Amino acid sequence: MADVKIIEVSPRDGLQNEPNLISTNEKERLVKLLLEAGLKSIEVTSFVHPVKVPQMADASDVLEAVNDIENWNSIALVPNLKGYQRAREHSLYEVNWVSSATETFNQKNIGLSIDENFYQFEELVGQAKKDGIKVCFSIAVSFGCPYEGDVSEEQVLKLVKRVKEAGADRIGIADTIGIATPDQVESLMKKVLVLAGETPVAIHLHDTRGLGSANAYAAYQAGVRIFETAVSGIGGCPFAPGAAGNLATEDLVYLFHRMNIDTGLDFEKLLDAANYAASLSSKNPLGRIRHVERKPKKERLS
């Protein structure tokens, strides 16, 4: 059994902000490359309104394309109950429900107050349990908000407490704009883990300021063992001005493997997936390690 669990988010978070339309076949190929690398939990798509996020308009088609593949957990993001009603028509392992630590970002992101969003979440939990689908509650802008600035630990911990009591199967803490520093990550995550108790906790990091790997290490030191990342570091939130891509999966895996921390992943095949993901992006992906790990052997050994 691996020492850490990595949840791959590139098909959803990695592509959602991409201006060029990515075909369903290309998304299917990306998922299959990720599976070949050994990833077992993949956030495939999101059931958001296609006008708001056109890149996810083919959510149902993408899930249908990979539905017959066995031995992995498919995840879809849902922003509201209407999105869940669409998602539940598919064979999903988990839905990811997103709220925010600040009122302004919640309004910009999903058009609801934190309380309004949470009341819908409580209703969702009951429905999902009947449907046999697990539920993750992710808290966006947990370390800083593009509209309100600094976010206190108390704001995040208040939501964590409510989420645990509501019956979430997993809790996600997201640095949506990549503003966190390692000391902040270690401090907050230690407190989140205590509050969450037996409920699994994941951290979702963006590498906007180049601190993604350092923050992941700080989270690991705090006791976190579930990490959400995207191959090649593609991505960014369309509702967070200035937000850059996710922490690159291959960068984190390289770090963990050098530290003899088992991820259960095939690094070479992960590089294949990362290079393919980068080819789909119109931006300059943030992932670093893939640029130095595929040099000719003579260079690599010098």
Q: Which active-site residues does the annotation give?
A: 237
Q: Decide if 171 contacts 200 (C-beta within 8 A).
A: yes
| Cβ contact 252:205 at 8 Å | no
Q: What letters, b where the CB count within 10 A reaches 16 and e where it falls short, cover 49-69?
A: eeeebebbebbbebbebbeee
Residues 6+ apart with CB under 8 A from 131: 88
Coil vs helix vs strand at 94: strand
Q: Which residues of 11-43 are buried (b: 16+ CB within 10 A; e: fewer)?
A: bbbbbbbbeeebebebbbebbebbbebbbbbbb
SS (HEC) of 165-217: HHCCCEEEEEECCCCCCHHHHHHHHHHHHHHHCCCCEEEEEECCCCCHHHHHH
